[in-house]
A and B are shown apart, each in its own frame.
Chain A
Amino acid sequence: MRVVIMGCGRLGSMLAGELDAEGHHVTVIDIDQAAFNWLGDGFSGTRVVGPGEDSAIQEVAGVKHADVFLALANGDNRNAMAVQVAKHIHGAPRVVARIYDPDRAEVYQQLGINVVNPTTILDQMVREAAFATSPESDAPSSDGDGV
């Protein structure tokens, strides 16, 4: 598959490396050239420097022919705009946006965008790690440190 990833931070570079190794055709966009250092030496995909929400940059990155567009940059608004440009201007068949703010995530879900909201996911995982009762974990206690 042809995958375009906007945002080459920890998550973007990790996914890019994995998908590249799996044989997918990967293009990574980042506004900062130095971000590409996150990619391993073995990465054989394409790197594009520029703002990924910019229609012209998406054109250069080949979003028109992409099967999937992933917006994994740090700004919610930027990611939201980028996936909508990819979807509505370049006709990307599948787009996913990382949106940190749960309220915003809800808005974009309503607008038909595939949203991944790390905050709610982490909330759940932290709760489970902190309070779930399993053989090796402590039972929930009410006299904790009370952070």
Chain B
Amino acid sequence: MYIVIVGGGKVGRGAARDLIGMGHEVCVIEREADTAWSINHELGEVALVGDGTEVHVQQAAGMNRADVVVACTGRDQANLAVGQTAATRFGAGKVIARINDPRNESIFRALGFDNTVSATTSIVNAIELEVNKGLQSLTRLTQLASSSFMLSQQRVAEQSSVVGCTVRELRLPPSTLLVLVVREGDDALIPGPNTTIHASDLVIAVTHVQHEAALRAALT
């Protein structure tokens, strides 16, 4: 595939390195000549110096034949401009946009950019995951497809009242689905209504964000 990456900072350069390693053809558009030189020095002649939000720079990068566009500058307004220009002028089908301020996620979504990556949100989630490790409480693993649904996990405590219950007997909140039960010493299993919950089971569920607390209660 041909992938155009706009923004050659740590994120863009890292993505370029990986994608080239996977055998893709990559062009990195970078505003700073020094940074572009350093990218070329490491990865071969892949960097183009210019403002990737400009139509003529996108043209020079061959945006019209790009399979994927990755907008990953440190500015959300630039990433939005990259995506909108690539889509409107060059018919780019797939745009992946980096969001620096998580509060901008809603505007990207409102404008039709569903493939967004927010480092801030990912880091915050990773920190939460680490903080909650071993606390046997519900942990949010990831938000699914920019929706209001979350993939969450919870370890069933030894003294929990749900030990010995079947899935059918659990008081699960609405809009919730148990998708996987990971049992120590066993392989994971996809639970059905008659699956019995054991102590120390790691239960992975999809739930609506507003029902997280109820799910935590149902598995405690």
Stretch at the interface among A12-20, A37-45, A99-107, A123-131: A99-107
Tell me whether B80 and A84 are in contact (CB under 8 A): yes
Q: A122 an interface residue at 8 Å Cβ cutoff?
A: no
The residue in A55, A56, A103, A110 that gathers the most chain B C-beta atoms within 10 A of its C-beta is A103
Q: Which residues of chain A are near B55, meaning CB under 8 Å? A: 101, 103-104, 107
How many chain A residues sit at the interface, stated as a range, is: 20 to 34
Out of A56, A82, A89, A104, which one reaches B85, CB within 8 Å?
A: A104
- At the interface, is chain B mostly helix, strand, loop or mixed? helix
Q: Which residues of chain A are near B80, meaning CB under 8 Å? A: 77, 80-81, 84
Out of A55, A84, A103, A107, which one reaches B56, CB within 8 Å?
A: A103
Q: Which residues of chain A are near B106, meaning CB under 8 Å? A: 55, 89
The chain B residue with its CB closest to the CB of A110 is: B88
A58 to B78 CA separation, bound complex (whole angstroms): 19
Tell me whether B77 and A53 are in contact (CB under 8 A): yes
A122 to chain B, nearest CB (A): 19
Tell me whether A78 and B103 are in contact (CB under 8 A): no
Tell me whether B88 and A81 are in contact (CB under 8 A): no
Q: Considering the complex, which residues of chain A in the window 14-29 have a beta carbon less than 8 Å from any beta carbon of chain B?
A: none
Contact A55:B104 (CB < 8 A) given known A110-B88, A111-B88: yes
Q: Which residues of chain B are near A85, meaning CB under 8 Å? A: 107
Q: B89 an interface residue at 8 Å Cβ cutoff?
A: yes
- How many residue pairs at the A-B interface have CB separations less than 8 Å? 59
Q: Considering the complex, which residues of chain B in the window 38-56 have a beta carbon less than 8 Å from any beta carbon of chain A?
A: 53-56
Q: A75 an interface residue at 8 Å Cβ cutoff?
A: yes
Q: Which residues of chain B are near A81, meaning CB under 8 Å? A: 76-77, 80-81, 107
The chain A residue with its CB closest to the CB of B110 is: A88
Q: Which residues of chain A are near B81, meaning CB under 8 Å? A: 76-77, 80-81, 104
A84 to B81 CA separation, bound complex (whole angstroms): 11
A80 to B81 CA separation, bound complex (whole angstroms): 8
The residue in A54, A55, A101, A107 that gathers the most chain B C-beta atoms within 10 A of its C-beta is A107
Contact A107:B88 (CB < 8 A) given known A81-B77, A81-B80: yes
Q: Which residues of chain B are near A101, meaning CB under 8 Å? A: 54-55
Tell me whether B103 and A84 are in contact (CB under 8 A): no
Q: Considering the complex, which residues of chain B in the window 59-96 have a beta carbon less than 8 Å from any beta carbon of chain A?
A: 75-78, 80-81, 84-85, 88-89
Tell me whether A54 and B103 are in contact (CB under 8 A): yes
Tell me whether B84 and A107 are in contact (CB under 8 A): yes
A to B CB contacts below 8 Å, 28 in the list = A53-B76, A53-B77, A54-B101, A55-B106, A76-B53, A77-B75, A77-B77, A80-B80, A80-B81, A81-B77, A81-B80, A81-B107, A84-B107, A88-B111, A89-B106, A89-B107, A89-B110, A101-B54, A101-B55, A103-B55, A103-B56, A103-B89, A104-B54, A104-B55, A104-B85, A107-B88, A107-B89, A111-B88
Kindly list the 9 A-B residue pairs having the minimum CB-CB distance in the complex, ordered from nearest: A103-B55, A81-B77, A77-B81, A77-B77, A88-B110, A107-B88, A78-B77, A81-B80, A77-B78
